[in-house]
């Protein structure tokens, strides 16, 4: 067999092997990791709006978290458009802007500044974060020294300490098992 024939046969075998790797519906949700390198997964519309230059840095990335997708923020600044899905903030001192309606927002890092429009479940395990949000259905804080200001929060569960939660309207159910936490209207 010639070298060219061997290469073609190898390519065909690889294509057949990959053909069996399709989505069988049983796999977990898609995960997109947002980084500042050119290889970061992104929505198709973002490719035309990348910042110029050789650094690979993007300003105001247009990432999307749709139903059954997870966007994991590992470098900032970053912005995400939610149409369902989950966003995980996993970088210290994060600067993240989230628009739209997210199913889940998990803040695992510390010292970040995060804004979000509407979130079904907001979980904060990190400490020292400042979060500004629109409507939050369920807020869970396990970290310490976080500050959350929202238009409305329906349910607040606090296990961390020295957290401040302010809401502008409504009257959330509050379960405070931490110490030194402040929850009230204002902001």
Whether 162 shows a pLDDT value over 70: the answer reads yes
Long-range CB pairs of 57-63 (<8 Å, 24+ gap) are 61/34, 63/32, 63/34
Cβ neighbors of 48 (< 8 A, separation 6 or more) are none
Beta bridge partners of 185: 167
- What 3-state class would DSSP assign to 168? strand
Cβ neighbors of 142 (< 8 A, separation 6 or more) are 123, 124, 125, 159, 160
Q: Check residues 29 and 38 and name the one with the higher pLDDT.
A: 29
Whether 110 shows a pLDDT value over 50: the answer reads yes
Q: CA of 136: how far to CAs of 8, 35, 38, 120, 124, in Å?
A: 55, 26, 33, 6, 13
Cβ–Cβ under 8 Å, residues 44 and 64 = no
- pLDDT tier at 76, thresholds 50, 70, 90: confident
Q: Name the pTM for this structure.
A: 0.70
Whether 80 shows a pLDDT value over 90: the answer reads yes
Alpha helix segments (H runs only) across the chain = 3-19
- pLDDT tier at 61, thresholds 50, 70, 90: low
Whether 15 shows a pLDDT value over 80: the answer reads no
- On the 0-12 / 13-18 / 19+ scale of CB atoms within 10 A, 3 is exposed
- pLDDT tier at 65, thresholds 50, 70, 90: confident
Cβ–Cβ under 8 Å, residues 94 and 72 = no
Question: Which of 11-25, 90-104, 151-165 shows the lowest per-residue confidence on average (mean pLDDT)?
Answer: 11-25
Beta bridge partners of 72: 33, 88
């Amino acid at each position: 067999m010639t070298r060219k024939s061997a290469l073609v046969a190898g390519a065909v075998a690889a294509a057949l092997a990959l053909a069996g790797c399709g989505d069988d519906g049983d796999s977990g949700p898609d995960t997109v990791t947002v980084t500042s390198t050119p290889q970061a997964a992104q929505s198709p519309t973002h490719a035309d709006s990348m910042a110029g230059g050789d650094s690979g840095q993007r300003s105001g990335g247009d990432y999307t978290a749709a139903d059954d997708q997870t966007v994991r923020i590992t470098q900032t600044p970053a912005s995400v458009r939610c149409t369902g899905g989950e966003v995980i903030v996993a970088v210290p001192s994060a600067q993240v802007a989230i628009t739209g309606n997210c199913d889940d927002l998990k803040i695992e890092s510390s010292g970040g500044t995060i804004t979000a429009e509407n979130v079904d479940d907001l979980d904060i395990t990190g400490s020292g974060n400042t979060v500004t949000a629109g409507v939050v259905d369920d807020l869970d804080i396990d970290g310490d020294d976080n500050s959350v200001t929202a238009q409305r929060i329906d349910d607040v569960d606090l296990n961390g300490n020295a957290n401040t939660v302010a809401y502008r309207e409504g009257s959330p159910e509050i379960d405070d098992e931490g110490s030194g936490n402040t929850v009230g209207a204002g902001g």
